[in-house]
Amino acid sequence: MMFRALILAVALASSASTASARDARSDAKAQVEFGIKVAQNGLWKEALYRWEKAVELDPTYPAAWNNLAIAYEQQGNFEKAADAYQKAVKLDPDNLLIQQNYDLFKEINDRTQRRRDR
């Protein structure tokens, strides 16, 4: 009896955590989508805020990190952009679009770095 209750409790807890992860992803997704809309209208600060929220809600969401990195890049915040791109690549290493964004960013970042070192 006790054993059954224990199994039930574990199953309930695991399904609750899966549901909460699903909720977090869907909330983060809503923020990401809203961020895309405002970024397309040139409102990058608002987009940045939305994508920061998205990664707070779901830190395992690669698209949110990718978009956040782009917003940092647009603002000239290269250090934060590099961090965000690295997280996106780590979470989804096979995503060629993220990798392409990161490569383009690195090209500019390296060039700037070289000039500073000169």
Partner 1 sequence: MTARSVAAIASLALCGSLACTNFYEIPIETPIQPKMDVSAFQRVLVAGFIGGGTDEVDANLETVRLLRSQLRSKSSLRVIEAEALPLALIAAKQVLASNGAAAPPQDGASESQQPTPVPQLSDADQQIRNERDLERYQGIFADAEFWKRLGEEHQNPLIVTGTVLFTPHQERGMVIQERERIDQFGRRTVQPVRTLMERKGFILTPKFIFIDGRTGATLYSETFREEVLYNVQTNTPALSSYFELMDKLIPSFLNALSTQKVRGTRILLK
Per CB under 8 A, residues contacting partner 1 are 29, 32-33, 36, 39-40, 62-63, 66-67, 70, 73-76, 95-101, 103-105, 108, 112, 115-116, 118
Please give, one letter per residue, the 3-state secondary structure of 49-110.
HHHHHHHHHCCCCHHHHHHHHHHHHHHCCHHHHHHHHHHHHHHCCCCHHHHHHHHHHHHHHH
Nearest distance, CB of residue 56 and partner 1, angstroms: 18
Nearest distance, CB of residue 63 and partner 1, angstroms: 4
Query: Closer CB to partner 1, residue 23 or residue 103?
Result: 103
Query: Closer CB to partner 1, residue 29 or residue 80?
Result: 29
> Which two three-digit tokens encode residue 111?
């060039």
Rounded to 5 degrees, φ, ψ at 56 are -70, -45
Query: Closer CB to partner 1, residue 4 or residue 116?
Result: 116
d(CA 104, CA 77): 15
Nearest distance, CB of residue 76 and partner 1, angstroms: 4
Nearest distance, CB of residue 13 and partner 1, angstroms: 30
